[in-house]
Amino acid sequence: MGNENEATAIWYAEWEKQGKKDYGTCCGGKCIRDRATDRVLATSPPVQGNMSAYDSMKPALDYLIDKGFDAYYDDGWMD
């Protein structure tokens, strides 16, 4: 499994662990990106609320940073 799939799985697992909450502003395109390439490294769990996505993304972000990516959270766009 590639870094992207693993990071997405880590993010999803953390979101599940937190109770699959869906709160915050409805946003699309939430992801973790690489600053160097702007490539999407991990996609958000199936949650619309930006706060729920943000609150659960840290383990995936840390995983990608540990793999050497200059990763950051992208809150997407308001829907």
Residue 57 belongs to a domain: yes
Cβ atoms within 10 Å, residue 14: 16
pTM over 0.85: yes
- Output the pLDDT for position 4: 66
Residue 63 domain boundaries: 3-74
Total number of domains in the chain: 1
In a domain, 47, yes or no: yes
Tell me which residues of the chain have a pLDDT lower than 70.
1-4
Give the model's pLDDT for residue 1.
Answer: 45
